[in-house]
Amino acid sequence: MTKAITAAQMKHYDQYTINTIGIPSMVLMERASLALRDEILKQYPQAQNITIVAGSGNNGGDGLCVARLLQIAGKHTTVIEAGNPNHFSEEHRAQAKTCDYYRIPQLTTLDTIDSADLLVDAIFGIGIDREVRDPYASIINQMNAASAPIIAVDVPSGINTDTGEVLGTAIKADTTVTFTFNKIGLTTKNGQQYAGRIVVADDMGTYATD
Ligand SMILES: NC(=O)C1=CN([C@@H]2O[C@H](COP(=O)(O)OP(=O)(O)OC[C@H]3O[C@@H](n4cnc5c(N)ncnc54)[C@H](O)[C@@H]3O)[C@@H](O)[C@H]2O)[C@H](O)CC1
Ligand SMILES: [K+]
């Protein structure tokens, strides 16, 4: 049984790694996204048109980062920015700038949700802290209704990381790639139902010993 932790424990490990050990957050983000890219290429090799739906934080930052990595790997990637640009995290902003150089479309329209071969859920990760409302709720519902499989980044958006409960509405993922350790919420019956196949990406550089 692999170890499972809470959002607070994960944040502690991340902050310790970044602020005490000194591995930059962007390095962790790149390494998390490389693990995510590898899982996507392994599990969905046929997917050519991949739409990444990004929230405003670092879960969205992972999404923008993997959009670039997948384009370099020969995929056609499109980002849908679901978050408020005024709330973009520093890392999210940096990843969006990189996507500009790689000419990756960053849209606010939703029609590529229905035409994609694969959807990447990068809306919310361990930072979710309240009920999901519009516009996110309707975007999540549209993603769940689409024909494409969904791979969730770290935690299916809308699922409480610690309890597995649905915060209003949540992504029903085929696969979830969660970073460093599994999350307690994804070991619950409900969490597993929404996470689908869980892959723990455990070598992305976070210093995680107590
Ligand atoms: N070592 C690692 O595991 C790393 C993980 N990374 C990724 O970072 C996210 C956590 O990022 P964070 O910015 O803290 O939060 P989120 O992106 O999950 O949430 C974004 C943002 O959304 C706001 N918010 C929360 N709940 C709601 C809601 N219901 N409605 C609207 N908005 C909401 C809140 O303000 C949050 O700030 C982690 O999951 C990984 O994907 C890093 O990449 C690096 C290493
Ligand atoms: K997510």
User: Is the residue at 162 inside a domain?
Assistant: yes
Cα radius of gyration (the chain): 15
Contacts of residue 6, Cβ cutoff 8 Å, sequence gap at least 6: 161, 162, 183, 184
pLDDT of 18? 96
pLDDT of 1? 59
Place of tokens 């070598």: 203
54 bridge partner residues: 81, 122
Q: What are 91's two structure tokens?
A: 């890392």
143-181 burial, b at 16+ Cβ within 10 Å, e below that, comes to: bbebebbbbbbbbbbbbbbbebebbebbbbbbbbbbbbb
CA-based angle 17:18:20, to the nearest 5? Answer: 70
pLDDT of 71? 98
Ordered per-residue pLDDT tens for the chain, 210 residues: 579 999 999 999 999 999 999 999 999 999 999 999 999 999 999 999 999 999 999 999 999 999 999 999 999 999 999 999 999 999 999 999 999 999 999 999 999 999 999 999 999 999 999 999 999 999 999 999 999 999 999 999 999 999 999 999 999 999 999 999 999 999 999 999 999 999 999 888 888 876
ipTM over 0.85? The verdict is yes
Asked if 68 and 102 touch (Cβ cutoff 8 Å), the reply is yes
User: Is the residue at 134 inside a domain?
Assistant: yes
User: Is the residue at 210 inside a domain?
Assistant: no
State the distance from the centre of ligand 1 to the C-alpha of 189, rounded, in angstroms.
Answer: 23
Number of domains in the chain: 1
pLDDT of 179? 97
Residues surrounding ion ligand 2 at CB below 5 Å: 121, 152-153, 157
Say what the pTM is. Answer: 0.97
Q: Which ligand is the nearest neighbour of the Cα of 125?
A: 1
Of ligand 1's atoms, which has the minimum distance to the CA of residue 180?
3
User: Is the residue at 209 inside a domain?
Assistant: no
61: phi then psi, degrees, rounded to nearest 5: -60, -45
CATH number at residue 20: 3.40.50.10260
User: Is the residue at 75 inside a domain?
Assistant: yes
Q: Where are the beta strands (DSSP E) in the chain?
A: 4-5, 49-54, 76-81, 106-107, 118-122, 150-153, 175-179, 182-183, 197-201
User: Is the residue at 208 inside a domain?
Assistant: no
Give, using CA atoms, the residue closest to atom 31 of ligand 1: 132
Range of the domain at 149: 4-203
Burial of 210 (0-12, 13-18, 19+ CB in 10 A): exposed
Does residue 59 have a known ligand-binding role? yes
